[in-house]
Amino acid sequence: MLTGIGIMLLTFVVMEGVAWVMHKYVLHGFLWFLHKSHHTRHNHVFELNDLFFAYYGTLSMLFFIFGSDPIDYRFWIGAGITLYGVAYFLIHDVFIHRRIKLFGSTSNVYLKALNMAHKVHHKTQGKHDSESFGMLWVAPRYFKLAYGIVKKQQERGAIYNQRT
């Protein structure tokens, strides 16, 4: 069981690298015709880009199916892919893009840095010249910027509280 959980967590971590490579070289490469729906403004709930959820969901399901009788390492790989998919949905679609309005603003430096990095990725609406292709890994410069913003917000809050 502990080995299985280790495989699941390792798969989760590896999925960040897989997501980065897929995003940079596949989504911003030969599958741009699907991914560009994510980089353009629209009024509908779904994007062609959402088909990638079906791809990773199917991949995860296959690992579950072929690793479940008896439960072996493939089951735990499927669990790791699924866990990454849940994190991706909550962080990318719900928190960053607000496709479902669950979260408000945050003073968490990591989440602010993550949001900033993703906004920088989206400032270029074309196939080329984007940066920040990962989902959970954030370059240190965004942490510095986010920390500065949070610190200023806290200072403003302290000044406001002293006045009242």
pLDDT along the chain (164 residues), means of 10: 94 94 87 79 73 90 95 97 92 72 73 80 70 78 85 72 52
**Domain-wise residue ranges, the chain:** 2-163
140 preceded by a cis bond (ω within 30 of 0): no
pLDDT at position 133 is: 73
pLDDT at position 144 is: 86
pLDDT at position 103 is: 66
* Measured CA distances, 32 to 40, 79, 130, 162 (Å): 12, 28, 13, 52
The three-point CA angle 115-118-123 to 5° equals 125
pLDDT in tens, 107-145: 778 888 888 887 777 676 667 767 677 778 888 888 888
Model confidence pTM above 0.85: no
The chain-wide mean pLDDT, for the chain, equals 82
